Chain A
Amino acid sequence: MRVLVIEDDPQLSGYLAKAFGEMGASVDLADNGRDGLFLAAGNPYDVMVIDRMLPELEGLAIIRTLRASGNLTPVLILSALGEVDHRVEGLRAGGDDYLVKPFAFSELHARIEALMRRSAPGDGPVTSLSVADLELDLLKRQVQRGGQPIALQPREFKLLEYLMRHAGQVVTRTMLLENVWDYHFDPQTNVIDVHISRLRAKIDKDFDQPLLQTVRGAGYMLRAD
């Protein structure tokens, strides 16, 4: 996996390089917009992490230039600007995800993985998903495990679908809120946890192997150990 990080804060970019390195990715660093654009345009990256406020060339300008030249590499925008407006601006410019500084690395990690999964070339449209003996039919909107049908509410179905699409990856609560509920907000209570335990009761309760796991301090993961 090749990652490009365009970030002018040396402390943060050093930290990112180290963390990505531990993930097994090779990281290129650029500390200004112009160098960043040059690297981005000339190399095939799997994902790019671009700060908004950069010397020489602004982050959003880099993304616009890349998109205009047909470069569709997933981009995660980092920004100290957290207002909703800024987020909307960033996504409109062609960013694929937006993360406000300061952020937990687990959140960045989870989002990067999700971005890469999204951009992974599929074999045509997916009609069914499966993890271990859990199967989800997107066309019939049915779920079964070990051959036994499981009845899910529409939102539970959507939640499971998202988790299965990102099977083996950590999915954060914020990502679930944004992608399953389609709201960008900050719950006072971990409402997501309750939905997860409901879903868990339906898909894991009567089976030996638990699939839906909690990753402490980060989020959830659907995985067959």
Chain B
Amino acid sequence: MALTAEQLGQGMKRTLGPTLNRLHQSSRFILTSSTFRLALLYMLLVGVSVAILLGFIYWSTAGYMARQTDATIGAEIQGLAEQYRRRGLAGLSTVIAERIARDPQGASIYLLTAPSGNPIIGNLDSWPQVAPDAGGWVRFRARQSLGEGEDVDIEHETRAKVFRLRGDLRLLVGRDVRELTAIRQLILDAMTWGLAITVGLALLGGWLMGASIARRLDVVNQVSREIMQGNLSRRVPSAGTGDDFDQLAENLNQMLERIEALMLSIRQVSDNIAHDLRTPLTRLRNRLELLHGGDLCDEARNEVEVAIADADELLSAFNALLRIARIEAGSRRAAFADLDPLPLLQDVAELYEPLAAESLQTIQVEGVTENSPCRLHADRDLLFQAIANLVDNAIKHSPNGGQIRLRAECSETRVELSVTDDGPGIPPELRDKVLQRFFRIDESRAAPGHGLGLSLVQAVAQLHGAALSLEDAAPGLRVRLRLPKQAKMQTNSSASGRASSPV
């Protein structure tokens, strides 16, 4: 059943792991780019809205003025046409002359031409070279000579309308639109700047908004990564505002709570089974032993011996399981003492040397110490057990004639112990799995053992605050234990629930 719990955890690790790793690797890029996208979208939305708004304002101000001008010109032409109808050409000329005289600045433009094209009266030197549109409107740069002086010609932008009178006369009435154009330009400039500022502000706002979201997502990501690394007791902090991010955090935390409880209960069940079955199994073994000591024929005695061996194998698996549970739950460190890891490695090598020699394998021990002596605060028996398990595995999984290297590397702050073999190694995708209880790589199923060796190593590593890593020694496997010199008390709350494991 522990298998199920482990698979649950490992499965989660496997499916979420790569995603989170990817996020981790490119988190800055993705987060900034999502911020950037958000800012861009925000800017586009605000920009377009403001552009539409400004367009409307422009239409209703500058456009209104232009329409006003056109309406004035139209009305004046109507008036002049009326004069012509009532008072004839002479009357019209008089009125035009009067109006020109009243306007020395030349803001109003008049030109009346005969059918021949010759000017009759007006303050425009010549008929504009621009063809009028369908409504008779024309826009041109007008050249006027004011008064008698030759050099006072001025040129300015003019909006005018051409009108045909009876008798094939042509009348042009226009207005100087310099001011209008200037005002229009002013409005346009103001609007361009306004738009630019709006876009800038929108970009800034969007970025700030995105960054604040990214910051909160980053917290969730950070916590998720720590959880993936095995610290299941971590929880997503909430900002305390009760917003949707807080709700997300709350939901994630409840989910984690649930997963942790499930894993714990399943593990507890398996530990309890091991514990509860151990006593009757021992009783069974003892009965067999009494039987063995009694009067038996050789055949029966052999059978009893095999049965005892089977019982011992079961017991050893149960004991290993319970041992892992106890170590994982362990916060008591009465057996911790300062020790030099190198003699410990030598002891392991010495103990396993004959076993290795059976497969023509050799075990080498090597110590690298910056400043002797190398001291480590550890549980001597458990550390020995861990290294012994690793060496045991190395012997089992290395080919005949292989070489197993034990190495202790000591620095100011930490001690690194490693066991390296030149066997087939463990494929990267299985390196997490082999740490699970009862997991065995298919190829090694034939070898003796119950698949608890590495789980126990991991439990010992955890108790010592050490990092356990499986690496490719090309060829072979290197298992590395990085132990801090001053092992800090582990805060393994995920294991503390198991401390109540009945004994």
Question: Chain A interface (Cβ within 8 Å of chain B)?
Answer: 15, 19, 22, 80-85, 88-89, 101-106, 155, 181, 183-189, 191, 194-195, 198, 216-218
B385 and A89 form a contact (CB under 8 A): no
B381 and A84 form a contact (CB under 8 A): yes
Question: Closest residue to A18 on the B side, CB-wise?
Answer: B290
Question: Chain B interface (Cβ within 8 Å of chain A)?
Answer: 278-279, 281-283, 285-286, 288-290, 292-293, 305, 308-309, 312, 316, 319-320, 322-323, 326, 330, 332-335, 347, 350-352, 354-355, 358, 379-382, 384-385, 388-389, 392, 395-396, 448-449, 453, 503
A104 and B355 form a contact (CB under 8 A): no
B334 and A104 form a contact (CB under 8 A): no
Question: Closest residue to B502 on the A side, CB-wise?
Answer: A80
B316 and A105 form a contact (CB under 8 A): no
- Decide yes or no: A84 and B382 within 8 Å by CB, A189-B448, A191-B351 being known contacts: yes
Q: Return chain A residues, CB-CB under 8 Å to B388.
A: 185, 187-188
Q: How far is the CB of B120 from chain A (nearest CB, A)?
A: 123
- Contacts A84-B381, A194-B355 known; list 10 others, CB within 8 Å: A82-B503, A83-B503, A102-B283, A105-B290, A185-B384, A185-B388, A189-B396, A216-B305, A217-B308, A217-B309
A188 and B392 form a contact (CB under 8 A): yes
Q: How far is the CA of A194 from the CA of B292 in the complex (A)?
A: 25
Q: How far is the CA of A103 from the CA of B288 in the complex (A)?
A: 13
A185 and B381 form a contact (CB under 8 A): yes
Q: How far is the CB of A82 from chain B (nearest CB, A)?
A: 7
Q: Return chain B residues, CB-CB under 8 Å to A85.
A: 332-335
Q: How far is the CA of A218 from the CA of B392 in the complex (A)?
A: 22
Query: Which listed residue, B323, B335, B354, B379, touches A198 by the CB 8 Å rule?
Result: B354
A104 and B384 form a contact (CB under 8 A): no
Q: How far is the CA of A44 from the CA of B322 in the complex (A)?
A: 38
Q: How far is the CB of A54 from chain B (nearest CB, A)?
A: 16
Q: How many contacting A-B pairs (Cβ < 8 A)?
A: 98
Q: Return chain A residues, CB-CB under 8 Å to B288.
A: 217
Q: How far is the CB of B455 from chain A (nearest CB, A)?
A: 12
Q: How far is the CA of A184 from the CA of B326 in the complex (A)?
A: 15
Question: Closest residue to B354 on the A side, CB-wise?
Answer: A194
Q: How far is the CA of A88 from the CA of B380 in the complex (A)?
A: 12
Q: How far is the CB of B330 from chain A (nearest CB, A)?
A: 7
The interface centre, meaning the residue of B278, B335, B358, B395 with most chain A CB atoms within 10 A of its CB, is B335
Q: List 12 A-B contacts (CB under 8 A).
A: A15-B286, A82-B503, A84-B379, A84-B382, A101-B282, A102-B282, A103-B282, A181-B351, A183-B347, A184-B381, A189-B449, A217-B305
Q: How far is the CA of A85 from the CA of B396 in the complex (A)?
A: 31
Q: Return chain A residues, CB-CB under 8 Å to B326.
A: 82-83
B381 and A195 form a contact (CB under 8 A): no
Question: Closest residue to B379 on the A side, CB-wise?
Answer: A84
Q: Return chain A residues, CB-CB under 8 Å to B351.
A: 181, 183, 191, 195
Query: Which listed residue, B332, B381, B396, B503, touches A80 by the CB 8 Å rule?
Result: B503
Q: Return chain A residues, CB-CB under 8 Å to B350.
A: 155
Q: Return chain B residues, CB-CB under 8 Å to A188.
A: 388-389, 392, 448-449, 453
Question: Closest residue to A177 on the B side, CB-wise?
Answer: B351
A181 and B347 form a contact (CB under 8 A): yes
B392 and A187 form a contact (CB under 8 A): yes
B289 and A106 form a contact (CB under 8 A): yes
B352 and A183 form a contact (CB under 8 A): no
Q: How far is the CA of A183 from the CA of B392 in the complex (A)?
A: 16
Q: Return chain B residues, CB-CB under 8 Å to A19.
A: 290
Q: How far is the CB of B380 from chain A (nearest CB, A)?
A: 7
Q: How far is the CB of A80 from chain B (nearest CB, A)?
A: 5
B335 and A88 form a contact (CB under 8 A): yes
Q: How far is the CA of A105 from the CA of B292 in the complex (A)?
A: 12
Query: Which listed residue, A15, A105, A185, A217, touches B385 by the CB 8 Å rule?
Result: A185
Q: How far is the CB of B109 from chain A (nearest CB, A)?
A: 110
A183 and B380 form a contact (CB under 8 A): yes
Question: Closest residue to A85 on the B side, CB-wise?
Answer: B334
Query: Which listed residue, B286, B312, B358, B385, touches A194 by the CB 8 Å rule?
Result: B358
Q: How far is the CB of B289 from chain A (nearest CB, A)?
A: 6
Q: How far is the CB of A215 from chain B (nearest CB, A)?
A: 10
A88 and B347 form a contact (CB under 8 A): no
Q: Return chain B residues, CB-CB under 8 Å to A186.
A: 316, 319-320, 323, 385
Q: How far is the CA of A183 from the CA of B498 in the complex (A)?
A: 26
Q: How far is the CA of A218 from the CA of B288 in the complex (A)?
A: 12
Q: How far is the CB of A177 from chain B (nearest CB, A)?
A: 8
Q: How far is the CB of B433 from chain A (nearest CB, A)?
A: 19
- Decide yes or no: A217 and B286 within 8 Å by CB, A85-B334, A186-B385 being known contacts: no
Q: How far is the CB of B181 from chain A (nearest CB, A)?
A: 95
Q: How far is the CA of A15 from the CA of B289 in the complex (A)?
A: 13
The interface centre, meaning the residue of B286, B316, B323 with most chain A CB atoms within 10 A of its CB, is B286
Q: How far is the CA of A89 from the CA of B379 in the complex (A)?
A: 15
B334 and A88 form a contact (CB under 8 A): yes
A217 and B289 form a contact (CB under 8 A): yes
Q: How far is the CB of A155 from chain B (nearest CB, A)?
A: 6
- Decide yes or no: A102 and B278 within 8 Å by CB, A88-B335, A189-B392 being known contacts: yes
Q: Return chain A residues, CB-CB under 8 Å to B290.
A: 19, 105
Q: Return chain B residues, CB-CB under 8 Å to A82.
A: 322-323, 326, 503
Q: How far is the CA of A88 from the CA of B288 in the complex (A)?
A: 31
Query: Which listed residue, A83, A106, A184, touches B330 by the CB 8 Å rule?
Result: A83
